[in-house]
Amino acid sequence: MRLNRHHELFRDSVRAVLERVLLPGLHGWESEGRMPTHEICRALGEEGLLGLTLPLDEESGGLGLDLGYSWVWAQELGRLPAGSPAMSLSVQTDIVLPLLAEAGGERVRTEFLRPAVRGELVAALAATEPGGGSDLAALRATAVRTADGIRLTGDKAYITNGSVADFAVVVCHLVEGEGERGATGLDSLALLLVPTGLPGVSRARYTGKLGNRACDHGSLTFTDVRVPEENLLGEPGSGYEALTRVLTRERAFLAAVATARTETALRETVEHARGRAVLGRSLMDHQAIAFKLAELDAELALVEQYTGAVFHLLDEKAPALRQASIAKLRASRLERESADLRLQLHGAGGYMEDGPVERAYRDARAHGLAGGADEALLHLIAGHLRTDI
Ligand SMILES: Cc1cc2nc3c(=O)[nH]c(=O)nc-3n(C[C@H](O)[C@H](O)[C@H](O)COP(=O)(O)OP(=O)(O)OC[C@H]3O[C@@H](n4cnc5c(N)ncnc54)[C@H](O)[C@@H]3O)c2cc1C
């Protein structure tokens, strides 16, 4: 995707907003292990940043911009000195709200999408379960269609925004009667919007995580929760395709965040390597170090270009699941490598301090799991090799 002058002007204004809304509190939130998600969404919603690529119509309240703006938004979130805001906000702006705009009926768009674009409601996507997240066909949560509406039962785990969200889009199997409970497979998958204040919904918050500590992660339990039929997103039987589109966009977004985080790591490590002397020479003048940084620079250039190409495919509404999975796999591995090298070259100071170096090392680990574990992405890429070549 080629960014133009308008995208770059947008970058400047987003950077200024994020510096004002997020930077002053970020370090403290990471130390406390909690951030004011609703307050942040409200502030960013007022700036129009939560519906950049959503339709301009009255019910959606979006700005109707191209996907280049989403790429810039992801990059700027990725440049922050902690991964939590990108993780939390990506669910809102590039996973759940595009899904509601595409597959939600009029009531869903008026009651949930529009307020969420204004930042008045916080969203979550609940797919993973305590028994596993990689194998979507094996998910256990089931929504039973009965004469008086839909009843949802199931457990969801490790959900970003899970304990603070006002509503969650729950990935479950939809069956026509009690007798069909326990269905598996991809054909019965459905996406059900569930307000978290409904009777039968209970939640718990994870604490003591490795990284992204300020970002909320929660588990959700649904016990015979009654949900109106209109909360089903998309046409009957279209759940898996809709979910695939969501995962494609999520992976492109995470690739862009991871790439921006690698760029920060590289820039900051080079600055440090120029200033730090060992054996009478700067670290940068030791060829072993300079070559490592040069390798990182070369890889970063390729991954960044490729991620841009994935955003272009998305903007053209072309199939991009394989490409987005490749981008996310390579970008998140590079983020991990760069965070490791950054910490190594900062020596014990990087390990000890409560700051961006050790935080980047901890935060980087999440991208190998969230949005599809590395091996799940390799499984998908290998599947294309079996059938498409
Ligand atoms: C920070 C964070 C945020 C998250 N946010 C959300 C969220 O908002 N919503 C949500 O639904 N989930 C979320 N998750 C969960 C995430 O999607 C899952 O962790 C992921 O899908 C893997 O599922 P699992 O952890 O159950 O591992 P499992 O599915 O049990 O897999 C375990 C491991 O097996 C390996 N593996 C997986 N597939 C294959 C394969 N095909 N071949 C060989 N090996 C394989 C991988 O190494 C994997 O890590 C989040 C996770 C993290 C860490």
Query: Any residues with Cβ below 6 Å from ligand 1, and which?
Result: 91, 125-128, 132-134, 158-160, 212, 217, 366, 369-370, 372-373, 375-376, 379
What CATH number has the domain bearing residue 207?
2.40.110.10
pTM listed for this prediction? 0.97
Q: Helix, strand, or coil here: 35?
A: coil
Question: What is the CA(129)–ligand 1 centre distance, in A?
Answer: 9
Question: In whole angstroms, how far apart are CA 265 and each of 18, 82, 214, 291, 346?
Answer: 19, 12, 20, 16, 11
224 shares its domain with 248: no
Question: What is the CA(226)–ligand 1 centre distance, in A?
Answer: 28
104 shares its domain with 133: no
pLDDT of residue 213: 97
Mean pLDDT of 110-130: 98
Cα 63 off chain centre by: 21
Domain boundary among 217, 237, 257: 237
pLDDT of residue 180: 78
Q: What are 206-246's pLDDT values in tens digits?
A: 999 999 999 999 999 999 999 999 999 998 889 999 999 99
pLDDT of residue 353: 80
Which band of pLDDT confidence, cut at 50, 70 and 90, is reported for residue 142?
very high
pLDDT of residue 348: 95
Ligand 1 pocket test, pick from 134, 140, 219 with the greatest ligand atom count within 8 Å of Cβ, gives 134
Cα 347 off chain centre by: 31
Print the domain residue range for 114.
5-121
Mean pLDDT of 329-355: 95
Phi, psi of 128 (to 5 degrees): -65, 145
- Lookup: tokens for 227: 């949900």
Domain boundary among 91, 121, 151: 121
Q: What is the Cα–Cα distance from 167 to 147, expressed in whole angstroms?
A: 24
136 shares its domain with 261: no
* pLDDT-wise least confident of 115-124, 179-188, 281-290, 297-306: 179-188
Question: What is the CA(339)–ligand 1 centre distance, in A?
Answer: 21
Question: What is the CA(284)–ligand 1 centre distance, in A?
Answer: 38
| Arithmetic mean of pLDDT over the chain | 96
Mean pLDDT of 138-158: 94
Whole-number percent of the chain with pLDDT over 70:
100
pLDDT of residue 237: 86
pLDDT of residue 179: 75
155 shares its domain with 84: no
310 shares its domain with 326: yes
Which band of pLDDT confidence, cut at 50, 70 and 90, is reported for residue 151?
very high
Q: What is the Cα–Cα distance from 58 to 40, expressed in whole angstroms?
A: 23
pLDDT of residue 58: 86
**Is 269 a residue whose pLDDT tops 90?**
yes
84 shares its domain with 213: no
HSE-up (13 A, CA, CB side) for residue 131: 9
Q: What is the largest CA-CA distance in the chain?
A: 80
What CATH number has the domain bearing residue 14?
1.10.540.10
Ligand 1 pocket test, pick from 89, 92, 158, 243 with the greatest ligand atom count within 8 Å of Cβ, gives 158
* pLDDT-wise least confident of 226-230, 336-340, 352-356: 352-356
358 shares its domain with 292: yes
Q: What are 57-88's pLDDT values in tens digits?
A: 888 899 999 999 999 999 999 999 999 999 99
Q: What is the Cα–Cα distance from 143 to 140, expressed in whole angstroms?
A: 10
Taking a C-beta distance cutoff of 8 angstroms, is the pair 120, 40 a contact? no
11 shares its domain with 84: yes
* pLDDT-wise least confident of 10-24, 26-40, 271-285, 347-361: 347-361
* DSSP strands (E only) in the chain: 123-126, 142-146, 149-160, 167-175, 189-195, 201-205, 217-227, 232-233, 277-278, 281-282
156 shares its domain with 89: no
Number of domains in the chain: 3
Q: What is the Cα–Cα distance from 3 to 279, expressed in whole angstroms?
A: 44
**Is 355 a residue whose pLDDT tops 90?**
no
Q: What is the Cα–Cα distance from 311 to 71, expressed in whole angstroms?
A: 7
What CATH number has the domain bearing residue 297?
1.20.140.10
**Is 6 a residue whose pLDDT tops 80?**
yes
Q: Is the dihedral of CA 280, 281, 287, 288 positive or negative?
A: positive
Q: Torsion angle, CA of 214/219/220/221, rounded to 10 degrees?
A: -160
User: Which residues are CB-contacts of 165 (< 8 A; sequence separation ≥ 6)?
Assistant: 122, 123, 124, 159, 196, 218
Domain boundary among 121, 138, 161: 121
Q: What are 162-203's pLDDT values in tens digits?
A: 999 999 999 999 999 877 777 889 999 999 999 999 999 999
162 shares its domain with 109: no
pLDDT of residue 345: 98
Whole-number percent of the chain with pLDDT over 90:
92
Q: What are 244-266's pLDDT values in tens digits?
A: 999 999 999 999 999 999 999 99
251 shares its domain with 367: yes
pLDDT of residue 383: 95
147 shares its domain with 19: no
pLDDT of residue 100: 97
Ligand 1 pocket test, pick from 37, 89, 128, 164 with the greatest ligand atom count within 8 Å of Cβ, gives 128
pLDDT of residue 93: 98
Question: What is the CA(375)–ligand 1 centre distance, in A?
Answer: 9
